Amino acid sequence: MSRPLSLDVNLLRTFVAVANAGQITGAATSLNMTQSAASQQMTRLEQLLGLKLLDRSPNKVRLSQDGDRLYDAAVRLIGLNDQIVADITRRTSNPDIRFGVAYDLLERVVPPLLTSFRQHHQDHGIHLVGLPSEALCKLLSEGGLDIAVTTDLAGASAGEALCADRLVWAGLPNGSAATHQPIKVALAGGYDRFTGPASTAMERSGLAWRQITQAGDLGSVLAVLAADLAIAPFLSRAVPKPLAALEAEHLPALPLFQISLQLNDTLPAHARQFADHIRQELPNIWAEEQ
């Protein structure tokens, strides 16, 4: 008994595209392939079936009688194939978890958090977004994130407090930026939640100071600090290398902050697993010495 003939769905896609376009060039463009590749696929399909499916002319192709008979069946088979693929992948995979992290926490928190999660949930993809906390909250409220880990003044967050840390002044070790007159303070401005408390503390201190760098990104702040041109506020356990917390007594004390977990109101089940993982692991990660 001979084996039944198997049809390649990709060949059928090309056939249907050619029939709809009335030309091979247009079909090739719609399928993102070359005209030569589309023509070769049509030839392969005709050879496979042993039928002439197209009547070709210099500027136009039309379905032959056999092509007409194949067309409706090809459309049904392609649709069935796509439905099967959609159903199967919907059951066996989940969309990426849209995870936002305050940009000053990225280096400290994200690598160990994602590494430990992947050990037990390799089928869960993570789409990571690093932004200032204020921007993350806005994105979360608009439905653009599933989960956000933000920094907030202690007691001021609408989210779930996971741990607390003191805001400190940071700068280049053994640098002189903290002794300049006026003291230059690098602040990201806008959406950065350290800007307000740091500015208030400096104003109340009576020290001569000047704010610099309002580019809105952490990279510009780090560059200015690495050049020993300014100091800036950071959480004590998130001061990035090669910077260090400054012990200068003349600098004003900064307030206590908390790291908060904030969730989308319509959090899918697989994202809830990641939220539980954050609750369990992030306080331990933050408590570890760097």
Interval 135-183: pLDDT, tens: 888 889 888 899 999 999 988 777 899 999 999 999 999 899 999 999 9
Q: What is the mean pLDDT of residues 90-95?
A: 61
* pLDDT digit string, tens, across residues 256-273: 999 999 999 888 888 899
Instruction: Please tell me if the domain spanning 9-92 has the same topology as the one spanning 95-290.
Output: no
Task: Take residue 164 and report the two structure tokens written for it.
Answer: 């607390």
Task: Take residue 59 and report the two structure tokens written for it.
Answer: 């500027």
What confidence tier does 83 reach under pLDDT thresholds 50, 70, 90?
A: confident
Please give the pLDDT value at position 221: 84
Q: What is the mean pLDDT of residues 17-45?
A: 87
Distance CA 29, CA 182 (A): 63
87 or 10, greater pLDDT? 10
Q: What is the mean pLDDT of residues 240-252?
A: 89
Q: In this structure, what is the dihedral angle of CA atoms 250, 194, 115, 92, given to the nearest 10 degrees?
A: 170
* pLDDT digit string, tens, across residues 185-195: 998 766 678 98
Taking the CB of residue 172, how many other CB atoms lie within 10 A of it?
Answer: 19
CB distance 234 to 167 below 8 Å: yes
Residue 91 has pLDDT above 60, yes or no: no
CATH dotted code for 95-290 = 3.40.190.290
Write down the domain spans for the chain. Answer: 9-92, 95-290
Distance CA 247, CA 254 (A): 13
Distance CA 95, CA 117 (A): 16
283-288 contact pairs (CB < 8 A, 24+): 283/162, 283/163, 285/108, 285/109, 285/112, 285/113, 286/108, 286/109, 286/162, 286/163, 286/165, 286/237, 286/259, 287/163
DSSP for 87-141, written as a single string: HHHHHH--PPEEEEEETTTHHHHHHHHHHHHHTT-TT--EEEEEE-HHHHHHHHH
CATH dotted code for 9-92 = 1.10.10.10
* pLDDT digit string, tens, across residues 154-165: 887 778 999 999
121 or 246, greater pLDDT? 246
Taking the CB of residue 29, how many other CB atoms lie within 10 A of it?
Answer: 15
pTM: 0.66
Q: Please work out, in degrees rounded to the nearest 5, the angle formed at the alpha carbon of residue 280 by the alpha carbons of 279 and 282.
A: 70
Q: In this structure, what is the dihedral angle of CA atoms 49, 53, 56, 59, given to the nearest 10 degrees?
A: -120
Please give the pLDDT value at position 191: 62
* pLDDT digit string, tens, across residues 190-225: 667 898 999 999 999 999 999 986 555 677 788 889
What confidence tier does 121 reach under pLDDT thresholds 50, 70, 90?
A: confident
Q: H or E element: which one contains 184?
A: strand 183-186
